[in-house]
C-alpha cells in the first residue's frame, strides 16, 4: 500500500452512485460517518432489503484516493485539515476530532489497544448486561486482522489490520524508552495479550505508513455500491425530530428533513451530546433555558471523561533520536500505587517528532488512564454550526492529582535512565515543573487531554440514574433513537478508545431488527 503523491486533489464524491439525496425514506438513518458510523453502515447494509442512509458532516473520499494528509499515519489531528474545531473551556486548547468520512479514525495516531477486562468488569458490576470481556471478545476478534498474538484472543480475518510495530521499525528514542523501562524493572509485553502490564511497541491500525480508517476498512467500493446504502457528504445534522416520544426524522442544518424508522447518532462524544441536547434530550433546566422543548430529561453531557495528559518535551538531535516510522512508537503501561486489581492506570509514551514542531526533539506523553474526574458538555447555542461548550475539568478529583503526579515522577525517572537519558537534551516544556516535586500549579496548568473523550451519554442498567442509554444504545424515554459511539461508555476505558469504539459498533450491529 502506497501513500498518494503530494499534494493530492480529489473530486467531490457527492455525484457518484450511492451518494446524494435518498430515493425514499430510509429504514435507518445513521448520523455521523465516523469511527462507529462507518462500521454500522457497512454491517447494517448487509441485509439487502434494508435501506440505510449515512450522513457525514465532512467530505467523503474514495478509499483509494485519500488526500495525503489523511492517508499518512505521520500526520495527525488538526494537521490533517479535517477538524471540527472543538476547544476546551476555559483556556481554548484544541480538541481535535475528524470531520470526514472515517471520523477520528482518519486523523488519529493509529494506536490499536483494547480496553482491559477490568474496564468491562467495572461496567458490568453496575448492572450493565452484555458487556463483560468474554461477551465483547468475539466483536474485538471480528473487527481485526492481527499479525501477532494468540489465535484464541486475536482476529485474523477482520477488515481492520492491526500490526504491532517491530523493534526494527522503532526510532532509537522509541527503543530507548523500552530499554529504560526494562532497566527500571518493567517487563516487555504485548498490550493486547492476557498480561498487558509492561512496555511494548504500539499495535497500530496502519500499513506501510498508511492510516487505515474505518471508512477504508469497512466502506469499500463493493460496500458503497450496495443499492440499499446511500452516503451523503457535507450533511450537518441539526436535531432529531420527534412525534411524541418517537424519533421520526433527522433535520439537517440546511433545512432538509429525512424521515426514518430508526435513527442512530454516531457523532462522537462531543457531537452526539450536542445533537441530543438540540433535540430536547438532556437536562431539562438547561434545555428550557435555551428555549428547547424537553422530550426526555436525561443527564446528557454531565459525566463525560477523558484521559488527562502532560507533554514532557525534551530537546534532542534528530540524528541521535533516529527516524520513527510511526508518530506513536512505544509506551509503558503500568499500575500505580493506588490502582486496584487488574487496573493499569499510568501510561508513558514517546511522541516523535513533536507536533507542531516546537523544538527538534521528542515528547514523553504522561497519561492517567483511570481518571475519576468528570467534565461537562453543554450547548452554547441552539445553532448547529456552533460548537458545544466543553469543560474537561481534568484533575478535579484529588485522587487523580495524586496518581497523575506519580505518573509524572515515573516519566522523569525514565528520562534519567540509560539509554534514553543519553539521547535527550534539557526539558523545555513545561519549564517550571520540578521533577522531584512533580506537582503544584505548574503541573495542573500544563495538563491537556489525550483526546479519548467518552461518556457524555453513558450506558447503564434500568435503575441507574446516571444512564442515558441502555445496553443496546437505546435512548431512555424515547423510541426509535439510539446512540452508538464512545459517548455511551459508562466511563473512559484504560486504553486509547479507537479499537473499543469499533468493537462497540460491531457488538451492537446485531441488535437491529
Distance CA 36, CA 506 (A): 8
pLDDT of residue 60: 98
User: What are the tens digits of pLDDT across the range 280-295?
Assistant: 999 999 999 999 999 9
Mean per-residue pLDDT, 172-190: 98
| Cβ contacts of 451 within 8 Å, gap of 6 or more | 77, 95, 96, 104, 108, 306
**pLDDT, position 377:** 98
**What Cα–Cα distance (Å) separates residue 249 from each residue in 29, 53, 344, 389?**
8, 12, 43, 26
pLDDT of residue 6: 47
Could you say which architecture CATH assigns to the domain 26-84+96-111+211-304+454-509? 3-Layer(bba) Sandwich (3.50)
Q: How confident is the model at residue 25 (pLDDT cuts 50, 70, 90)?
A: confident
pTM assigned to the model: 0.95
Decide if pLDDT at 7 tops 50: no
Tens of pLDDT, residue by residue over 37-72, are 999 999 999 999 999 999 999 999 999 899 999 999
**What CATH number should be reported for the domain whose range is 166-201+308-370+395-446?**
3.30.410.40
Q: Would the pLDDT of 360 be above 90? A: no
The residue annotated as part of the active site, out of 163, 347, 452, 507, is: 452
Condensed to tens digits (0 to 9), the pLDDT of residues 302-330 reads: 999 999 999 999 998 888 999 888 888 99
Query: What are the extents of the domains in the chain?
Result: 26-84+96-111+211-304+454-509, 166-201+308-370+395-446
Q: Is 80 exceeded by the pLDDT of residue 17?
A: no
pLDDT at 8: 38
Mean local confidence (pLDDT), 2-11: 46
Nearest CA to 97 among 309, 238, 271, 218?
271
Task: Check residue 229 and give its pLDDT.
Answer: 98
Across 312-321, 342-351, 426-435, the highest mean pLDDT is recorded for: 342-351
Mean pLDDT, the chain, rounded, equals: 93
Residue 328's pLDDT is: 87
> Please, which pLDDT band fits residue 358 given cuts at 50, 70 and 90?
low
pLDDT digits (tens, 9 = 90+) for 219-278: 999 999 999 999 999 999 999 999 999 999 999 999 999 999 999 999 999 999 999 999
- Residue 234 a catalytic site member: no
Q: What percent of the chain has pLDDT over 70?
A: 92
For residue 353, what pLDDT band results from cuts at 50, 70 and 90?
confident
**For the residues of 249-301, what is the DSSP string, one character each?**
EEEETTS-EEEEEEEEE-SHHHHHHHHHHHTTEE-HHHHHHTTPPPSEE--TT
More confident residue, 8 or 450: 450
Q: Is the pLDDT of residue 450 over 80?
A: yes
pLDDT of residue 361: 87
**pLDDT band at residue 24 using 50, 70 and 90 as cut-offs:** low
Report the SS3 class of residue 211: strand
Amino acid at each position: 500500500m502506497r501513500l498518494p503523491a503530494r499534494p493530492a486533489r480529489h473530486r467531490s464524491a457527492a455525484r457518484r452512485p450511492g451518494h446524494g439525496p435518498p430515493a425514499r425514506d430510509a429504514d435507518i438513518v445513521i448520523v455521523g460517518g465516523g469511527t462507529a458510523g462507518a462500521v454500522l453502515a457497512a454491517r447494517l447494509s448487509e441485509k439487502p432489503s434494508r435501506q440505510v442512509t449515512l450522513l457525514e458532516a465532512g467530505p467523503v473520499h474514495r478509499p483509494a484516493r485519500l488526500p495525503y494528509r489523511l492517508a499518512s499515519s505521520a500526520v495527525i489531528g488538526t494537521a490533517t485539515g479535517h477538524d471540527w474545531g472543538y476547544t476546551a473551556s476555559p483556556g481554548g486548547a484544541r480538541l481535535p476530532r475528524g470531520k470526514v468520512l472515517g471520523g477520528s479514525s482518519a486523523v488519529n495516531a493509529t494506536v490499536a489497544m483494547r480496553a482491559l477486562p477490568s474496564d468491562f468488569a467495572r461496567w458490568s458490576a453496575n448492572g450493565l448486561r452484555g458487556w463483560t470481556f468474554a461477551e465483547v471478545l468475539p466483536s474485538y476478534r471480528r473487527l481485526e486482522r492481527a499479525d501477532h498474538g494468540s489465535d484464541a484472543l486475536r482476529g485474523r480475518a477482520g477488515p481492520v489490520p492491526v500490526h504491532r510495530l517491530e523493534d526494527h521499525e522503532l526510532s532509537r528514542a522509541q527503543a530507548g524508552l523500552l530499554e529504560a523501562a526494562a532497566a527500571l524493572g518493567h517487563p516487555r509485553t504485548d498490550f493486547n495479550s492476557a498480561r498487558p502490564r509492561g512496555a511494548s511497541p504500539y499495535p497500530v491500525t496502519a500499513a506501510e505508513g498508511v492510516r487505515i480508517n474505518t471508512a477504508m476498512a469497512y466502506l469499500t467500493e463493493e460496500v458503497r455500491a450496495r443499492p440499499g446504502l446511500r452516503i451523503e457528504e457535507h450533511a450537518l445534522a441539526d436535531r432529531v425530530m420527534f412525534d411524541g416520544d418517537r424519533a421520526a426524522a433527522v433535520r439537517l442544518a440546511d433545512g432538509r428533513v429525512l424521515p426514518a424508522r430508526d435513527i442512530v447518532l454516531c457523532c462522537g462524544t462531543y457531537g452526539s451530546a450536542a445533537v441530543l441536547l438540540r433535540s430536547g434530550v438532556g437536562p431539562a433546566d438547561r434545555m428550557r433555558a435555551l428555549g428547547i422543548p424537553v422530550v426526555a430529561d436525561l443527564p446528557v453531557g454531565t459525566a463525560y471523561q477523558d484521559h488527562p495528559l502532560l507533554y514532557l518535551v525534551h530537546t534532542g538531535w534528530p540524528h541521535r533520536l533516529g527516524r520513527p516510522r510511526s508518530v506513536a512508537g512505544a509506551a509503558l503501561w503500568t499500575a500505580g500505587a493506588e490502582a486496584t486489581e487488574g487496573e493499569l492506570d499510568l501510561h508513558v509514551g514517546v511522541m516523535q517528532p513533536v507536533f507542531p514542531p516546537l523544538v527538534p526533539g521528542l515528547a514523553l506523553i504522561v497519561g492517567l488512564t483511570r481518571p475519576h474526574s468528570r467534565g461537562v458538555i453543554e450547548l452554547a447555542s441552539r445553532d448547529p454550526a456552533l460548537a458545544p461548550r466543553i469543560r474537561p475539568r481534568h484533575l478535579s478529583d484529588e485522587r487523580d492529582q495524586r496518581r497523575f503526579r506519580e505518573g509524572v515522577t515515573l516519566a522523569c525517572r525514565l528520562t534519567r535512565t540509560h539509554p534514553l537519558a543519553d539521547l535527550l537534551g534539557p526539558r523545555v516544556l513545561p519549564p517550571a515543573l520540578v521533577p522531584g516535586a512533580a506537582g503544584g500549579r505548574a503541573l495542573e496548568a500544563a495538563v491537556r487531554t489525550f483526546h479519548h473523550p467518552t461518556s457524555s451519554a453513558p450506558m447503564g442498567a434500568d435503575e441507574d440514574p446516571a444512564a442515558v442509554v441502555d445496553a443496546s444504545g437505546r435512548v431512555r424515554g424515547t423510541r426509535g433513537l439510539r446512540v452508538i459511539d464512545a459517548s455511551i461508555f459508562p466511563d473512559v476505558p484504560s486504553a486509547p478508545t479507537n479499537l473499543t469504539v469499533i468493537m462497540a459498533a460491531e457488538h451492537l450491529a446485531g441488535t437491529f431488527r
